[in-house]
């Protein structure tokens, strides 16, 4: 399974670290990430306030699941995309 984690803070670092250690997870990608997250996931640059950009990354990377950490992309409707996990309210 390929997983995309959206965000670049401590919460997303913890998520990427834990997910990278799961036996069924092939790879973890984080956008935008940070140098600490890079030890557990491949980081790609992106604007977390642009849902279209995040959806394009998820499609281009052929991820199976996207986990959204920050509130900003959630408030902009990014979880309306297929295979995205995050709060809706």
Say whether pLDDT at 17 is over 60: yes
Phi then psi dihedrals of residue 44, to 5 deg? -125, 140
pTM: 0.89
Q: Write down the pLDDT at residue 30.
A: 97
The whole-number average pLDDT for the span 40-67 is 93
CA distance 1 to 17: 15
Residue with tokens 């998520």: 15
44 Cβ neighbours under 8 A, 6+ residues apart? 29, 30, 31, 32, 33, 57, 61
């Amino acid at each position: 399974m390929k997983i995309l984690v959206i965000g670049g803070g401590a919460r997303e670092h913890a998520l990427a670290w834990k997910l990278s250690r799961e036996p069924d997870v092939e790879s973890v990608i984080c956008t935008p990430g940070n140098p600490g997250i890079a030890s557990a996931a491949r980081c790609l640059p992106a604007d977390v306030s642009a849902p279209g950009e995040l959806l394009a990354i998820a499609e281009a990377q052929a991820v199976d699941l996207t986990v959204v950490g920050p509130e900003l992309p959630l408030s902009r409707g990014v979880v309306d995309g297929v295979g995205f996990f995050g709060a809706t309210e």
